[in-house]
Amino acid sequence: MFKYSYVLTGLLFCLSLKVQGQTEFRVYLKDKGSSLGLLDSPEGFLSSAALNRRALQNIPIKRSHLPIAKEYLQALKDLGASPLAQSKWLNYVYVRHPQAQLIASLPFVERIEFPKRHQSF
């Protein structure tokens, strides 16, 4: 009987370590911050080839085309987060930081999301 309780306790301990050890997560942002001003001058964030292609195909420039706000990236870096990747279309930054709740409490953060771990068979 005690053998099973030791095994169960060990499994629960390992599981809690795994959850606490997740330091990489997506930080979804509420808005585009100061980047909204760039809608009036798209040449500031799009190349001339991209602008010509959009003009030929009648593609309007939308908010989702704007880059991640520099002040948001800087605020994350100031807290010690290491940006690993970002998506301007989905408006998130993938970061490494040991305290997810600290990042989640920032006023411009909509939510954080931990990636799902997949195992190969």
Q: Where are the domains of the chain?
A: 22-113
Predicted TM-score (pTM) of the model is 0.71
pLDDT in tens, 82-120: 999 999 899 999 999 999 999 999 999 999 999 887 666
C-alpha 30/C-alpha 39 separation (Å) is 18
Nearest to 106 by CA among 115, 97, 114, 119: 97
Q: Is the dihedral of CA 28, 31, 35, 38 positive or negative?
A: positive
